[in-house]
Amino acid sequence: MEQPFYIVYDRLYTTNYITASVEKPERVRQIMSSLGKTYPIVKPDPCTDEDILRCHSEGLLFMEKQDPERYEIAKLSAGGALKAATMSMENKPCFAVIRPPGHHANPDHNWGFCYFNNMGITLKHLIAKGIITRAIVLDIDLHFGDGTDTIFKSNANVPVLNIQASNPVDFINETKSRLESCDHADILGISAGFDQYIKDWGANLSTPDYFTLGEISGSFAKKRCNGHIFAILEGGYYIPDLGKNAIALIEGILKGLYD
Ligand SMILES: [Zn+2]
């Protein structure tokens, strides 16, 4: 059986809009060079201000426009997430290798290298266009995705699962059980941070653990989301192994979806 998988990426993601930060352009560059030509690469379009305003205040949008270069890249990052989700609805699962990340972008403030909430903008766009009614967010980043959580807190149709266990066995079991407790949805979106990695800040998950998390997610998506699954890059700062962890997650998703 054919196993399609796509990467969403644009060279503009390597723009150095934030200096003296661990959130470096090398993060996406390293992932892309590790991926090589394994999967087809699809280019995103920027999201619109209308998309942004479904998640964020006029004030936050105005503030972000004061840094035009970063504003453009942040719109393209959200657009990359949107592209990945849209393709996954056509049974083309995707990983969006984007930066800046988004899960710390709240309606009216942002922090943690995040400017616009890529996941929130994506799911609200799909809901507004009538493409989906129900989504599940799985956030495996080391840090609690406060922005995404706040955006969907009062929306029973978009449960946001932040996995926060501090050892691999609990992390995997918690992912499994929290997904299992969710009803059917139109799509599963993974906020894929890799800073829980054993050599990163979290000092927790191994590369095979990322494969397992992918497999759990892929098989859940097959069972309860019509196979609609996408992942977007959030954190992850141990640059040498970002690519191999992203590949492990992708291969796990494929195994869960198609085996
Ligand atoms: Zn993080």
Instruction: Tell me, in angstroms, the distance from the centre of ligand 1 to residue 139's CA.
Output: 10
3-state secondary structure of 180: helix
Instruction: Tell me, in angstroms, the distance from the centre of ligand 1 to residue 235's CA.
Output: 4
**Does residue 164 belong to any structural domain of this protein?**
yes
**Does residue 82 belong to any structural domain of this protein?**
yes
**Does residue 1 belong to any structural domain of this protein?**
no
Q: For residue 20, what is the domain's CATH number?
A: 3.40.800.20
Give the sheet arrangement for strand 229-233, strand by strand. Answer: 41-42, 6-8, 94-96, 229-233, 187-192, 135-139, 160-162
**Does residue 127 belong to any structural domain of this protein?**
yes
Instruction: Tell me, in angstroms, the distance from the centre of ligand 1 to residue 33's CA.
Output: 22
pTM, to two decimals: 0.98
Residues with CB under 5 A from ligand 1 (ion): 141-143, 193, 195, 235
Q: What are phi and psi of 202, to 5 degrees?
A: -75, -25
Q: Kindly report, residue by residue over 230-245, the tens digit of the pLDDT.
A: 999 999 999 999 999 9
**Does residue 95 belong to any structural domain of this protein?**
yes
Amino acid letter, 60: L
Task: Tell me the residue length of the chain.
Answer: 259
Instruction: Tell me, in angstroms, the distance from the centre of ligand 1 to residue 130's CA.
Output: 31
How far apart are the C-alpha atoms of 207 and 166, rounded to whole Å? Answer: 16
**Does residue 49 belong to any structural domain of this protein?**
yes
Instruction: Tell me, in angstroms, the distance from the centre of ligand 1 to residue 181's CA.
Output: 25
Q: Kindly report, residue by residue over 101-136, the tens digit of the pLDDT.
A: 999 999 999 999 999 999 999 999 999 999 999 999
Residue 113: which of 20, 198, 188 has the closest Cα? Answer: 20
222 C-beta neighbours (distance < 10 Å), count: 18
Q: What is the pLDDT of residue 3?
A: 79
Domain of 105 in residue numbering reads as 6-258
Q: What is the pLDDT of residue 18?
A: 85
Mean pLDDT by 10 residues, the chain (259 residues): 87 91 96 96 98 98 97 98 98 98 98 98 98 98 98 98 97 98 98 98 98 98 98 98 98 96
How many domains, the chain? 1
Residues 6+ apart with CB under 8 A from 217: 138, 175, 179, 188, 190, 229, 231, 252, 253, 256
What are the distances in angstroms from CA 215 to CA 69, 89, 129, 157?
Answer: 37, 19, 30, 24
**Does residue 36 belong to any structural domain of this protein?**
yes
Instruction: Tell me, in angstroms, the distance from the centre of ligand 1 to residue 147's CA.
Output: 12
**Does residue 29 belong to any structural domain of this protein?**
yes
Q: What is the pLDDT of residue 2?
A: 62
Instruction: Tell me, in angstroms, the distance from the centre of ligand 1 to residue 3's CA.
Output: 30
Instruction: Tell me, in angstroms, the distance from the centre of ligand 1 to residue 198's CA.
Output: 14
Instruction: Tell me, in angstroms, the distance from the centre of ligand 1 to residue 174's CA.
Output: 18
Q: What is the pLDDT of residue 20?
A: 79
How far apart are the C-alpha atoms of 99 and 252, rounded to whole Å? Answer: 23
